[in-house]
A and B are shown apart, each in its own frame.
Chain A
Amino acid sequence: MLLRILSAIGAFVLRRFEELGTIIMLYGETIRALRHKPRLRHILAQMSHLGVDSLMIVSLTLLFTGVVISLQTADVLIRFGAQGTLGGIVTIAIGRELGPVLVAVVCAGRVGSAITAEIATMKVTEQIDALRVMAVSPVDYLLVPRMLACMIVVPILTVFGDVIGVFGGWLIAVFYKGLTTYSYMNSIHIFAELFDMTGGVIKAIFFGNVIAVLGCYYGLHCPDGAEGVGRATTKTVVASIIVIFLLNAVLTFLLY
């Protein structure tokens, strides 16, 4: 009995390591393929498809995040007479952590799943094989443009989301808690640094990589059939979110 349990655990761990190895190899192959001439038209199309379409959901997520942080912290700060720090607190929280992480989580759901669904459908309808037969590398044609698009788009969305989040905080501070715009902006000026924002952008570049690589990996390795496509999409979202949180902890430790 004990042996069976141990062997099942061993098999599970081995499978996960095998999967991790394959993902790292695919990532390496994609990085190597970056030296080939970039397909600008494809990259721009992916940026538009994956990025512009996510603008609305990112805006809403960060707007309400800013609103909630401001609501939760304003009362406490006012009680201690520290209302002049509210803008700085909202900016640092959003710029360093909430902005990049929430944008990445939203993109994992919106962009990662779209990448997986598209590539998985291409796989089950033999379009990936057709690419290979026509001597076109799927890594060059599918993975590189998506990875570059994600590496560019996720940081841009993060900066955009940061601004919207800080704006959401300002809305509550000024129109609900009675603070002045000057006090809110001045606290941002005093407490926040540029690196609070750029550090978040650096994180976003890594998160963009994670979303693209996992999206492509689960698309390329999806089991046949419509059910397989659905399962691969779910796996992408779950795995991306886990890796994003894990990576966020590591990057926070290294950056700040």
Chain B
Amino acid sequence: MIEFKDVCMRFDDKEALKHISLTIQDGETLAVIGGSGSGKSTFLRLLIGLIKPTSGQILIDGQNIVPMSEAELNKVRLKMGMVFQYSALFDSMTVGENVAFGLREHTKLSDADIKEIVREKLHLVGLDGVENMMPNELSGGMKKRVSLARAIAVEPSIICYDEPSSGLDPLMTEKIDELIINTQKALSVTSIVVTHDMASACRISDRIAMIYEGELIAIDTVERFKKIQDARVQAFFRTLRTVKTEKEDKI
């Protein structure tokens, strides 16, 4: 279980997050939505321990990660995987080496076993036979999928996705959404998806949380979230309807 207790984050004179409190249950998929600069990426970076909050507590399986040293945090991070917005694949390594990275660092598995796991994880994300390719030879969608394969290779219990659909065409976005759903089903992981894509959020998540100018203004199941009468939430749904209409017009 993940808990945020009254978390605030301030960068110089800008308050990026204001008194965020929420709980994410094991096996749940939570989509965190919000506009650009609303603080949703900061939320994710706090969760993974890349930055420390100005105040408040972040509990992962009951452990407060805020006062932890980097070495202590590394033990908690072994439970986590992350898919970065721009994939963040190691560009000096092949796809296979990228996916195998965590296994080589944290397990004593033999080369043959690692190779097999890499092949299996790449197959799971729909990429076969790309082990020897370099990241710069892949398309944006393929990079995202390799990034997901790398994240799940060490079998984490929590996976964080930072804008998984950004920069992808609608078809690829749907494929990535399917992958997120399938990964969640296959591995029963807790997923936190930060996105500004409302359609994606509705498709993949059990609950949606909305951050607006650093404040958590709404959090609820998808169906109930759609009925929230807050103007800021409705504004986000209007964009969804506009996108849908545009798609239908094109068809």
Given A125-B86, A126-B86, CB of A135 within 8 Å of CB of B91: no
Contacts A/B (CB < 8 Å), 26 sampled: A125-B86, A125-B91, A126-B86, A126-B88, A129-B50, A129-B88, A130-B82, A130-B89, A130-B90, A132-B49, A132-B77, A133-B48, A133-B50, A133-B77, A133-B80, A133-B81, A134-B77, A134-B101, A134-B105, A135-B75, A135-B102, A135-B105, A135-B106, A136-B101, A136-B105, A137-B74
| Cβ–Cβ contact A135 & B78, under 8 A | yes
Q: Which residues of B contact A127 (CB under 8 A)?
A: 88-91
Is residue B70 within 8 Å, beta carbon to beta carbon, of the partner chain? Answer: yes
- What is the 8 Å Cβ interface bit string for chain A, positions 121-146, against chain B (1 contact, 0 not)? 01001110110111111000000000
- Total A-B pairs, Cβ < 8 A: 48
Q: Which residues of A contact B154 (CB under 8 A)?
A: 134
| Cβ–Cβ contact B74 & A125, under 8 A | no
Given A132-B50, A137-B70, CB of A126 within 8 Å of CB of B78: no
A133 to B77 Cα, complex, angstroms: 6
A122 to chain B, nearest CB (A): 8
Contact of B77 among A122, A125, A135 (CB under 8 A): A135
| Cβ–Cβ contact A130 & B74, under 8 A | no
Closest to B48 in A: A133
Lowest 4 CB-CB distances: which A-B pairs, in order? A126-B88, A135-B74, A130-B88, A135-B77
Q: Which residues of A contact B70 (CB under 8 A)?
A: 132, 137
Closest to B90 in A: A127
Q: Which residues of B contact A122 (CB under 8 A)?
A: 90
- What is the 8 Å Cβ interface bit string for chain B, positions 66-97, against chain A (1 contact, 0 not)? 00001100110110111011101111000000
- What is the 8 Å Cβ interface bit string for chain B, positions 102-138, against chain A (1 contact, 0 not)? 1001100000000000000000000000000000000
Closest to A128 in B: B88
| Cβ–Cβ contact B77 & A130, under 8 A | no
| Cβ–Cβ contact A130 & B84, under 8 A | yes
A35 to chain B, nearest CB (A): 13
B33 to chain A, nearest CB (A): 21
A237 to chain B, nearest CB (A): 22
